[in-house]
């Protein structure tokens, strides 16, 4: 009889039980808040930073002797300003998982994400479990459910749809789609999944029979049908933090969308060009694992909001297994990709261990 394949199952409850057994305290869920600075100190720092930035900008503009250089300097300063605003907004408040203390959860793989989950797509065997049942915001991973509803609606993917001002949802993320562009439903699906384009996702919802409200209702109905009991959807883009799910629920969603070839193709290309009237729009993926020849990815989706942190779901062949892997609330893009690599390496190591064990056992035992 073969020993069962080792599994790594480390939840917050397990961590608490282990520490209690060793005489230690249970993990602290409340995030530690640094001492608040005085109002005067904040104002002084803000004023100093503003003066410094203004002086630097003035000096650079003065150094520009030609109109072309002046425009280049102005553009550079504007880009830096936008980048600083985005960075400040991203760091204004921690994610919901971080506030709950989930990022402090220790695990044998030393993953940096608050939530991690890896499951065999065919057998349901759970291989990595870390806070997998905690409902959290999922950001643009929401677009997978939007895509599933569109794919199952059997609406023609070659039908041309017009992007309107209504699709200009409030977001710091950029979009290459402009009001008035006529784009096929299939191209919008690709932009929503591959480049995580919010206008594309909104346009898909707006043109769904019954509109956005009907599509969101169907998203929630489909979640119940899939057994995603800890999930809810409030908009098609993921910008609303009312969109929440668990890692275990998301694995069910990934398995469902994997059945649709159009979703697999739309989500896994590193680059693509779509036609919008007479214009051509270039798209690129938001997932750094796409294009890596060592990965065989069938489905992927990334996501980010301040409340959700960096998220990623991936379906991939690993050895002889088909795996679904989920990470939620990673501190940065590099960490979420590294956590995926770590989980894959762990599963590959388990397979090597099993093969080595079988080779050392006499055949008659089986």
C-alpha to C-alpha distances, 242 to 12, 98, 145, 235, 354, nearest whole angstrom = 24, 17, 14, 8, 43
Q: Looking at 140, 245, 267, 316, which residue is catalytic? A: 140
Classify residue 162 as exposed, middle or buried by CB count within 10 Å of its CB (0-12, 13-18, 19+): middle
Give catalytic status of residue 284 as yes or no. no
Separation of alpha carbons 327 and 109, rounded Å: 13
Give catalytic status of residue 58 as yes or no. no
Which uninterrupted H or E stretch holds 284? strand 279-284
Nearest to 329 by CA among 344, 299, 307: 307
Classify residue 30 as exposed, middle or buried by CB count within 10 Å of its CB (0-12, 13-18, 19+): exposed
Answer whether 296's CB lies under 8 Å from 316's CB. yes
Separation of alpha carbons 282 and 279, rounded Å: 10
Q: How far is CA 131 from the centre of its chain?
A: 17
Q: Looking at 114, 195, 196, 231, which residue is catalytic? A: 196
Answer whether 60's CB lies under 8 Å from 81's CB. no
Q: Looking at 143, 245, 267, 316, which residue is catalytic? A: 143
Residues annotated as catalytic are: 140, 143, 196
């Amino acid at each position: 009889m073969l020993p069962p394949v080792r599994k790594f199952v480390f939840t917050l409850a397990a961590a608490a039980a282990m520490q209690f057994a060793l005489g230690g305290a249970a993990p602290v869920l409340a995030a530690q808040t640094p001492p608040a600075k005085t109002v005067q100190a904040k104002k002084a720092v803000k004023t100093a930073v503003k003066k410094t930035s203004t002086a630097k900008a003035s000096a650079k503009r003065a150094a520009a002797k030609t109109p072309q250089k002046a425009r280049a300097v102005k553009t550079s300063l504007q880009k830096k300003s936008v980048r600083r605003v985005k960075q400040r907004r991203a760091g204004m408040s921690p994610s919901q998982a971080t506030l709950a203390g989930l990022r402090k959860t220790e695990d044998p793989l030393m993953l940096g994400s608050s939530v991690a989950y890896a499951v065999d797509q065919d057998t349901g065997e759970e291989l990595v479990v870390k806070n997998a049942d905690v409902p959290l915001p999922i950001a643009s991973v929401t677009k997978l459910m939007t895509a599933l509803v569109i794919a199952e609606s059997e609406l023609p993917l070659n039908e041309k749809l017009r992007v309107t001002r209504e699709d200009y949802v409030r977001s710091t993320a950029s979009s290459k789609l402009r009001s008035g562009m006529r784009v096929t439903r299939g191209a919008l699906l690709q932009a929503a999944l591959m480049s995580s384009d919010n206008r594309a996702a909104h346009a898909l919802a707006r043109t769904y029979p019954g509109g956005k409200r009907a599509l969101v209702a169907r998203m929630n109905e489909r979640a119940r049908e899939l057994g995603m009991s800890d999930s809810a959807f409030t908009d098609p883009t993921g910008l609303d933090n009312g969109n929440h799910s668990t890692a275990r629920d998301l694995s069910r969603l990934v398995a469902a969308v994997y059945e649709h070839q159009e979703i697999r193709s739309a989500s896994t290309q590193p680059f693509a060009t779509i036609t919008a009237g007479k214009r051509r729009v270039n798209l690129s993926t938001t997932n750094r694992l796409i294009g890596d020849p060592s990965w065989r990815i069938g489905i992927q989706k990334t996501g980010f909001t301040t409340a959700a942190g960096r998220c990623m779901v991936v379906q991939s062949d690993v050895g002889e297994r088909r795996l679904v892997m989920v990470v939620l609330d990673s501190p940065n893009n590099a960490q979420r990709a590294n956590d995926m690599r770590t989980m894959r390496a762990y599963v590959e190591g388990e397979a090597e261990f099993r093969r080595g064990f079988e080779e050392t056992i006499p055949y008659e035992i089986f």
